[in-house]
Amino acid sequence: MTESPVADLSREAAEAELARLARALARHDALYYQGDAPEISDADYDALRRRHADIEARFPELVKPDSPSQRVGAGISEAFAEVRHGVPMLSLDNAFSDDEVRDFAARIARFLKLPGEELIAFVAEPKIDGLSASLLYVDGVLEVGATRGDGRTGEDVTANLRTLGEARIPSRLKGSGWPARVEVRGEVYAPTDAFTAFNAAAEAEGRRSYANPRNFAAGSRRQKNPAIPAGRPLNFFAYAWGEPAEGFSETQAGALEKLAEWGFPTNPRSVRVEGAEGLLQVYRALEADRATLGYDIDGVVYKVDRLDLQARLGFVARSPRWAIAHKFPAQQATTVLEGIDIQVGRTGSLTPVARLAPVTVGGVVVRNATLHNEDEIARKDVRIGDTVVLQRAGDVIPQIVAVVPERRPADALPFAFPTHCPACGSEAVREEGEARRRCTGGLICPAQIVERLKHFVGRKAFDIEGLGEKQLVAFHERGWIREPADIFRLARDKEQLTALRAEDGYGETSVANLVAGIEARRTIALERLIFALGIREIGEQTSLLLAREFETWDSFDAAGREAAAGLPSAAWTALANAPGG
């Protein structure tokens, strides 16, 4: 459905649209804050928020007390006790362009009635893509740790936050000069390397893995059993405070120094700058370094440095006037190309795959991206060690769209595409008019064999229940399955089936299900059989057309043999003239 421009909405249409957007935002807030399972990207969510705000700005009389613009986060879960924040934990307005950042700085100058030439000092901080937490200390001792919740009331997750350890969240404040009652705020996050290692181990052990570090941090922090987050790699950055609203520093930068003295980690990339151009310089530097930080960020937060000016500026609805979040482009990110691997497909095609420093793009952690073929590598001049711009094409397939040439290492050399198959050593030939090189090893190439077997048992081919890709690869490595016929021999090989139970831990039921799944596919539709053969240029639709033309395997097989021999027969003619042939 195409949305009507806000400028074209009547009052009645605007009222209906605000109601629709409010329902959608409430649902997505609950999924994000309570379920830790967002269904849409941050960019799509921001677009909903912005449209809602634009409509309210045009029709201010339609703003309701329970409007999404008047609240932060979502309601709390019944699984945890409630915690009332001493000072509300508000959200931030967003900026998406340089001009919006300049407007932000100009608005502050106008509000404070400062001369146009006077530069305002700001603190620019990386916007960590994690979960907000509030820590209440009374007489220097941690009393309560809470989630943000709806901004006024959060969830008591003290036991879980304590498991992060003294180096991240101290149980007793260090140093001196802290108020008798102070509420320290910050972000719980997962370092990208630790997150990657956790997911790899979880997948190997058949446990739950997570789509991105943010979901991992959220799911860990809100576990009912503190023993679970205790074994997970989580960190914390302190960057703000609730109560007291004043008293221990005169500036934002000074407050960060105090928090560090009290024992909290603060972000080393936080920096004090002057004016909008100073902010934009920090933004561009962090965007360029994003892939090497070791944690996910989705933008930069700008805050007026002087706390007395923050107090004068005050708040608007759900956000402060003195701060804004400058978000990175929605579906793109920069990262480092650590290597180029060559994958061999079932038809022998050699496909280059970029191995990347993990980075989150559109809410998904990306570690690999397609480079298509050797011409594409040469056209973009992609080299190992380059900083590259990554995007998810159609929000699905990650691909490299450009290189950042000014960040290229001095020793980076053009990539030499292999002329021999990395799996079997056979010559890789690029035929005239083809974009890809292909291994000439055929069925002596182990990579081609495995990929052909995977294709053979795929969902649109034989689709054998109980014989997935993982089991197939394991059986191939043991030498049990080297060609498709071996699959059907396995089902009647008592020695191998006994070994499955004795050596691989298969239970009686698992073995019986595997055998039943294989036996059930001894007879299948002809189009599935043709597709399963993995013949070049013969896809699902062409397989169906060929099956309709020849009707039986015998007639199709005869046509194929005669065609291979170059015999001018009726079968050969039928094959050549078949639809899609």
Q: What is the pLDDT of residues 203-243, one digit of tens each?
A: 777 677 777 788 788 777 656 666 666 768 899 999 999 88
- 317-to-15, 274, 376 alpha-carbon distances in Å: 20, 27, 50
- 34-to-83, 146, 222, 354, 581 alpha-carbon distances in Å: 15, 13, 9, 36, 54
On the question of pLDDT at 572 being above 60, the answer is no
DSSP string, 451-493: HHHHHHTSTTTT--TT--HHHHHHHHHTTS-SSHHHHHHHTT-
pLDDT at position 575 is: 56
278-283 contacts, C-beta under 8 A, 24 or more apart: 278/119, 278/122, 278/124, 279/101, 279/105, 279/122, 279/124, 279/326, 280/98, 280/101, 282/124, 283/101, 283/124, 283/326
CATH number of 343-429: 2.40.50.140
Q: Which of 127, 258, 303, 327 is catalytic?
A: 127
Polymer length in residues for the chain: 581
pLDDT at position 202 is: 76
pLDDT at position 195 is: 87
On the question of pLDDT at 148 being above 60, the answer is yes
With b for 16 or more beta-carbon neighbours within 10 A and e for fewer, the 170-183 pattern comes to: beebeeeebbeebb
On the question of pLDDT at 76 being above 50, the answer is no
pLDDT at position 236 is: 96
pLDDT at position 246 is: 65
pLDDT at position 381 is: 93
CATH number of 6-70: 1.10.287.610
The answer to whether 481 and 475 are in contact (CB under 8 A) is yes
pLDDT at position 495 is: 81
Torsion sign over Cα 189, 193, 198, 203: positive
Tell me the average pLDDT across 388-405: 77
**Residue 404 DSSP one-character state:** -
Residues 423-469 pLDDT 10s: 999 999 998 878 889 999 987 898 888 888 888 888 888 888 878 77
CATH architecture of 438-577: Orthogonal Bundle (1.10)
On the question of pLDDT at 313 being above 90, the answer is yes
Instruction: Please indicate whether the domains covering 6-70 and 438-577 agree at the CATH topology level.
Output: no
With b for 16 or more beta-carbon neighbours within 10 A and e for fewer, the 457-483 pattern comes to: bbeebbebeebeeebbeebbeeebbee
pLDDT at position 533 is: 86
**Residue 444 DSSP one-character state:** G
3-state secondary structure 95-159: ECCHHHHHHHHHHHHHHHCCCCCCCCEEEEEEEECCEEEEEEEECCEEEEEEECCCCCEEEECHH
Alpha-carbon gap, residue 549 to 64, rounded angstroms: 66
Alpha-carbon gap, residue 132 to 151, rounded angstroms: 10
Strands 364-370 and 350-361: antiparallel
Q: Domain spans of the chain?
A: 6-70, 82-327, 343-429, 438-577
Tell me the average pLDDT across 398-402: 85
Asked about 174 being catalytic, the answer comes back as no
Please give the CATH superfamily to which domain 82-327 belongs.
Answer: DNA ligase/mRNA capping enzyme (3.30.470.30)
- In a 13 Å sphere around the CA of 540, the CA atoms on its Cβ side amount to 6
Residues 15-72 pLDDT 10s: 888 888 888 887 777 665 555 456 666 666 777 888 888 888 788 788 776 677 665 5
